[in-house]
Structure 1
Amino acid sequence: MEKSEVLRLTGKKILKIREQKGFTQLDLAARIQGDFDTTNVSRIESGRTNPTIYTLFRIAEALEVSLADLVIDEVKD
Structure 2
Amino acid sequence: MEKLEIFKQVGRNIQQIRIGKGLSQVDLVGRIEGNIDTTNISRIEQGRTNPTLLTLYRIAQALEVSLSDLVANNMVKIVEK
TM bracket, shorter-chain basis: over 0.9
Corresponding pairs, count = 75
Measured in 2, the distance between the counterparts of 1:51 and 1:33 equals 15
Give 1:20's aligned residue. 20
Runs of 5+ in structure 1 lacking a partner?
A: none
Aligned-pair identity in percent equals 59
Measured in 1, the distance between the counterparts of 2:35 and 2:65 equals 20
Runs of 4+ in 1 over 2 A off after TM superposition: none
**Given the alignment of the two structures, is residue 44 of structure 1 paired with residue 44 of structure 2, yes or no?**
yes
Measured in 2, the distance between the counterparts of 1:64 and 1:5 equals 25
TM-score norm. by structure 1 comes to 0.94
